[in-house]
Amino acid sequence: MEHIFKQGKPEAPTFILLHGTGGDENDLMPLAAALNADYSVLSIRGEVSENGMNRFFKRHGEGQYDVEDLKYRTTRLAAFIKEAAEKYGFDVEQSIPVGFSNGSNIAISMILNESITFKAALLYAPLYPLNITEDKDLSHMNVLLSMGERDPIVTMDASKHVIELFKQTGANITEVWVNSHELTQAGVIAGQKVIMNS
């Protein structure tokens, strides 16, 4: 997978950056620096092209996931992160997925469905219309959900569904409500607090 790895301070955790639709591995680098410039960064480019825009998995329409492709891409992404951890010498369990939009969505799929353990996740503008298919205990995990009250892509009900999914797993949830489908300073500050407490 196309990616960037940036080494941080020794023993510092690693951010796993997952961009939104139409983005690439450079998009969230400034966010990582704002969250904590000492952390290492693994920033990954989605392998799917939708009308020339990079994505992490296929869909049939807005909010209509290609579930088979999502499963396939999720497994590939988890395997790649494990390989990258060996190659670059970081601890997967000390890494933190940081996703925006489509990147948040595949992060949720990975957290819920793969045998890969993270200590925290920062999910900006997430949408995950599926349900949990097997019991998952995430009581060890701190999760930031930054959601838009007037998001044109993700409805309030869809945002509440994401909250409910993480409540089912016992995760420690921090909710931040912003205006739209966006990254905001409030979301960055909340993310800083979540990783400090992880």
Helix (H) or strand (E) holding 122: strand 120-124
Active site residue 101: yes
**The pair of three-digit structure tokens given for residue 103, joined into one six-digit string:** 């990147």
By CB neighbour count within 10 A (0-12 exposed, 13-18 middle, 19+ buried), where does 139 fall? exposed
The catalytic residue among 43, 109, 181, 198 is: 181
The catalytic residue among 43, 101, 104, 159 is: 101
Going 90 to 140 to 144 to 111, the CA torsion angle's sign is positive
**The pair of three-digit structure tokens given for residue 58, joined into one six-digit string:** 């296929």
Alpha carbons 181 and 47: distance in angstroms, whole number: 23
The catalytic residue among 19, 43, 151, 159 is: 151
- Phi, psi dihedral angles at 150 (to 5 degrees): -125, 40
Q: Is residue 44 within 8 Å of 3, Cβ to Cβ?
A: yes
Alpha carbons 54 and 35: distance in angstroms, whole number: 24
Q: How many Cβ atoms sit within 10 Å of the Cβ of residue 88? A: 14
Catalytic residues: 101, 151, 181
